[in-house]
């Protein structure tokens, strides 16, 4: 039991990676669609590249989405609305009219003309309510057919046959003027206005039920294909009826794979492919970025971002596949480049796109477009902390999306008339969503404790508390760090390294000298040398200890690991040569190991640049009457010695880049010493 616990403790980092690998794979497989995959890629407008295809079973030809939408629109436009005719209202109106006659007309008029008035009122009410009176409603054309429901019977009439309330005044005036009751017009109008009520009402619920019934009755198929029928021959163009049949076969094929046994096999297949993709990512990181592989937080961060992109894409695809390009997939390489490097960002992006090929429609088009966009993102985005660069990059990414989609549409359709403007809008929205990368990077910094160029920009502020403390306790070291930062930044720009990172590393690389500032020559304000009272070995220990002390101070002040790397490696495994030679004069058996920095040696271009710049700047103070020739020899001597001692063996810096760094150092030193061209006398 103890052995198991000990082994688990020793290999806990490996066990965590295995757990993270399995968890990520399970979550991705869970998000993937569980239907089977059709074994042929259907590309509209392209020749059929496979063998002659025969129907493996009977299946129906599905109507296209456009056909179904068109059929639905036609049903909706031709649908006849229903109106209810209320007989009770008619009876009430007529009864009220009989009562109102005696109230409106005087007794003298009723004695002489009551029967005539009653007959006239009854006649007009019969005409008005023959079809019915409709309250103000959405106005339709007079010849628009409608159904008028009287109980269980529905009669088709024209909308114009129904009286609208607004039409009643004209109708009454016309009929009264034509009768022999013109003298009683005010009383008659008063009577009708008081008793007439609408009795026809639009039946929205019944109308909608009838419409839904018709829409639900739509057939989504047109015709069928029998087993053994040839569907398409090799070389035929995939378009028109052939394309519809192939899509129908694909959908039927994938739906028939749905069973408990096939479901398990499909899950198994997905699991193999997803695990293989994730394994390739892990192996890539292990081979080319061992420092990231050994850091479980960074591995978790990478897998989390991959999983986030898969989740967002599957979510959008389930909601509406047409909007899949709204997902800002290029945030993934942007984020990983901001925290790590371009190569890892691009590789992770490609792995993610390959996994998403199982999810999205038109997978080849999607993968081609996203991989090209990812490459453009990696190639164009530099110095992400500069807002203008991000906006320019977003514009370039959006342009690439549009250009590639334009090209695919031309290939598939053979013209530009079928371009979908809505797709262009999704590209623009996806590009704008990419701008969210800056606040996202800030969130990741706080969640995962990582550092980006934007954080480096904040750390480069010389008014920060730690750098102010350095300038107060060790002003000479602070001035030296500023000079090294300027030299290192210029060299990094020349060879395309991370200039912001190397500048910040240079500013903080000597903070350990705050512990014993007077033991370093740049801080000695008087002729008294603190080392005069120490042995060479003790002096070397103090000099060497500034690296360890600097690491401790950096960790106490929560400086990022990427910055601490510069403190750790800026002397590599070189020796404190002055005190070593001094000790050797006193003791022939002096060991160089006692005077050697603990290392490690630089392991990146940026840390290698800092080592060269730090050594050259510090040693340049000893130059007497500098000339162009002296400076050139001086720089060559220092850098070549570092190369001979194999200080750059683990750094990914080339000989050509080292020569460029030498050139910049020589130029900068000449400017510092204000050298002029030596003219012949």
Residue 312 has pLDDT above 80, yes or no: yes
Report whether pLDDT(417) > 80. no
User: What pLDDT score was predicted for residue 91?
Assistant: 86
- The yes-or-no verdict on residue 260 having pLDDT over 70 is no
14-28, 393-407, 521-535: range with lowest mean pLDDT:
521-535
Whether the model clears a pTM of 0.75, i.e. scores above it, the answer is no
The pLDDT assigned to 38 comes to: 65
Which residues are bridge partners to 269 per DSSP? none
Whether residue 234 has pLDDT greater than 90: no
Three-class SS of residue 147? strand
Burial class of residue 160, CB neighbours in 10 A (0-12, 13-18, 19+): middle
Q: Which of 314, 326, 331 has the alpha carbon at shortest distance from 425?
A: 326
pLDDT score, position 612: 95
pLDDT of residue 681: 47
pLDDT at res. 549: 92
Interval 98-150: pLDDT, tens = 888 777 777 777 677 778 888 888 888 888 888 888 876 667 787 888 888 88
Q: Which residues are 237's β-sheet partners? A: 47
The whole-angstrom distance between residue 448's C-alpha and the CA centroid of its chain comes to 19
Q: Residue 68: what pLDDT? A: 85
**Whole-angstrom Cα distance, residue 671 to residue 319?**
63
Q: Is the pLDDT reported for residue 200 higher than 60?
A: yes
**Cβ–Cβ < 8 Å for 428, 406:** no
Q: Residue 280: pLDDT band by 50, 70, 90 thresholds?
A: very high
Task: Give tens-digit pLDDT for 330-343.
Answer: 889 988 888 888 88
The pLDDT value given to residue 9? 61
- As a dihedral over the C-alpha atoms of residue 420, residue 421, residue 424, residue 429, rounded to 10 degrees, the angle is -130
Alpha-carbon distance 453 to 386, whole Å? 9
Token look-up 């910055």 returns 563
Torsion of CA 296, 298, 300, 301, to 10 degrees: 170
Task: Say if residue 89's pLDDT is above 60.
Answer: yes
Mean pLDDT of 558-578: 89
Mean of pLDDT values over 2-10: 61
pLDDT single digits (tens) 423-457: 888 888 888 888 888 888 888 888 887 877 778 88
- Between the CA of residue 223 and those of 72, 219, 241, 251, 599, what are the distances in Å? 19, 10, 12, 15, 77
Helix, strand, or coil (residue 221): strand
652 backbone dihedrals φ, ψ, rounded to 5°: -85, 60
User: Percent of the chain scored above 90 by pLDDT?
Assistant: 24
The residue assigned the tokens 């008619």 is: 90
HEC sequence for 23-54: HHHHHHHHHCCCCCCCCCCCCCCCECCCCCEE
Hunting for tokens 């020749």 — which residue is that? Answer: 47
Give the integer Cα–Cα distance in Å for 189 and 104.
10
Mean pLDDT of 33-51: 69
- Beta strands 153-158 and 221-225, pairing class: unpaired
Domains and CATH numbers, the chain: 2-36+260-448 (no CATH), 78-214 (no CATH), 461-672 (1.10.3210)
The full DSSP string for 3-16 is HHHHHHHHTHHHHH
Residue with tokens 């749905």: 258
Cα Rg of the chain, angstroms? 43
Write down the pLDDT at residue 382: 63
Write down the number of H helices and E strands in the chain. 28, 10
Q: Provide the mean pLDDT of the chain.
A: 83
448 phi, psi to nearest 5 deg? -110, -5
Helix, strand, or coil here: 197?
coil
Q: Is the pLDDT of residue 504 over 90?
A: yes
**Residue 130 CB partners (closer than 8 Å, separation 6+):** none
| pLDDT for res 136 | 65
Q: How many CB atoms lie within 10 A of CB 263?
A: 14
* 513 Ramachandran zone, left/alpha/beta (phi>0; psi -120 to 50): alpha
pLDDT band at 675 (very low <50, low <70, confident <90, very high): low
Query: How far, in Å, CA of 183 to CA of 109, rounded?
Result: 11
* Residue 676 pLDDT exceeds 70: no
What is the torsion angle, in degrees rounded to the nearest 10, for the CA atoms of residue 468, residue 470, residue 473 and residue 479? -100
Could you tell me the two tokens for 217?
A: 């009755």
Give the N- to C-terminal CA distance of the chain in Å, as an integer.
88
What distance in Å separates the CA atoms of residue 460 and residue 467, rounded to the nearest whole number?
9
- Residue 679: what pLDDT? 45
d(CA 397, CA 391): 10
Strands 163-164 and 133-134: parallel
Q: Which two tokens stand for residue 315?
A: 């979510």
Mean local confidence (pLDDT), 3-29: 80
SS3 128: helix
Q: For the chain, what percent of residues have pLDDT higher than 70?
A: 91
Q: How far apart are CA 263 and CA 35, in angstroms?
A: 8
pLDDT at 299: 92
**Strand 82-85 relative to strand 145-150, pairing:** parallel
Cα 48 to Cα 52, 232, 243, 246: the distances in Å are 9, 8, 10, 11
């Amino acid at each position: 039991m103890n052995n198991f616990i000990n082994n688990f403790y020793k290999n806990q980092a490996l066990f965590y990676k295995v757990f993270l690998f399995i968890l990520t794979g399970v979550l991705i497989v869970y998000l993937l669609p569980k239907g089977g995959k059709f074994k042929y890629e259907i590309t509209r407008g392209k020749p059929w590249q496979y063998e002659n295809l025969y129907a493996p079973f009977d299946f129906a030809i599905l109507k296209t989405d456009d056909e179904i939408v068109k059929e639905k629109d036609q049903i909706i436009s031709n649908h006849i609305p229903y109106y209810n005719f209320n007989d009770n209202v008619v009876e009430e109106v007529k009864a009220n009219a009989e009562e109102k006659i005696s109230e409106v007309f005087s007794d003298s008029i009723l004695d002489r003309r009551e029967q005539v008035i009653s007959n006239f009122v009854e006649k007009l009410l019969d005409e008005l309510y023959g079809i019915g009176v409709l309250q103000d409603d959405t106005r339709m054309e007079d010849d628009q057919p409608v159904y008028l429901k009287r109980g269980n019977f529905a009669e088709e009439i024209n909308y114009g046959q129904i009286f609208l309330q607004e039409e009643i005044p004209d109708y009454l005036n016309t009929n009264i003027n034509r009768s022999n009751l013109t003298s009683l017009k005010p009383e008659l109008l008063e009577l009708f206005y008081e008793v007439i009520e609408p009795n026809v009402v639009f039946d929205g619920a019944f109308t909608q039920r009838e419409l839904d019934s018709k829409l639900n009755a739509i057939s989504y198929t047109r015709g069928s294909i029998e087993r053994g029928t040839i569907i398409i021959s090799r070389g035929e163009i995939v378009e028109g009826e052939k394309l519809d049949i192939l899509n129908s076969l694909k959908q039927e094929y994938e739906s028939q794979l749905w069973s408990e046994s096939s479901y398990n096999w499909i899950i198994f297949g997905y699991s193999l492919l997803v695990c293989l993709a994730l394994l390739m990512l892990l192996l890539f990181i292990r081979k080319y970025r061992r420092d990231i592989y050994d850091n479980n937080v960074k591995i978790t961060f990478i897998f989390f971002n991959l999983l986030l992109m898969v989740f967002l894409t599957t979510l959008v695809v389930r909601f509406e596949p047409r909007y899949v390009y709204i997902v800002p997939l290029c945030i993934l390489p942007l984020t990983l480049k901001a925290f790590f490097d371009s190569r890892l960002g691009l590789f992770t992006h490609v792995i993610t796109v390959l996994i998403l090929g199982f999810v999205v429609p038109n997978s080849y088009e999607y993968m081609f477009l996203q991989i090209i966009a990812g490459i453009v993102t990696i190639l164009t985005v530099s110095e992400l902390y500069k807002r203008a660069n991000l906006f320019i990059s977003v514009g370039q990414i959006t342009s690439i999306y549009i250009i590639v989609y334009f090209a695919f549409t031309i290939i598939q359709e053979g013209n530009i008339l079928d371009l979908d403007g809505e797709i262009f809008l999704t590209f623009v929205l996806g590009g704008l969503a990419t701008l969210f990368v800056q606040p996202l990077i800030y969130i990741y910094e706080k969640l995962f404790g990582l550092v980006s160029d934007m954080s480096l920009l904040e750390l480069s502020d010389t008014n920060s508390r730690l750098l102010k403390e350095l300038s107060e306790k060790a002003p000479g070291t602070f001035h030296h760090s500023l000079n090294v930062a300027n030299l290192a930044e210029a060299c990094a720009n020349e060879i395309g390294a991370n200039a912001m990172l190397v500048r910040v590393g240079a500013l903080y690389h000597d903070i350990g000298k705050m512990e014993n500032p007077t033991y370093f020559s740049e801080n000695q304000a008087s002729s008294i040398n603190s080392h005069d009272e120490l042995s060479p070995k003790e002096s070397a220990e103090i000099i060497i200890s500034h690296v360890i002390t600097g690491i401790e101070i950096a960790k106490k002040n929560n400086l990022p690991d990427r910055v601490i790397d510069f403190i750790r490696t800026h002397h590599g495994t070189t020796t404190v040569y002055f005190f070593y030679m001094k000790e050797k004069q006193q003791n022939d058996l002096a060991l160089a190991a006692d005077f050697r920095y603990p290392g490690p040696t630089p392991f990146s271009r940026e840390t290698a640049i800092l080592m060269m710049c730090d050594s050259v700047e510090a040693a340049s103070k000893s130059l007497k009457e500098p000339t162009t020739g002296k400076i050139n020899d001086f720089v060559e001597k220092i850098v070549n010695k570092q190369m001979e001692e194999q200080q750059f063996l683990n750094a990914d810096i080339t000989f050509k880049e080292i020569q460029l760094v030498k050139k910049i150092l020589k130029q900068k030193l000449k400017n510092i010493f204000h050298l002029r061209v030596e003219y012949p006398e």
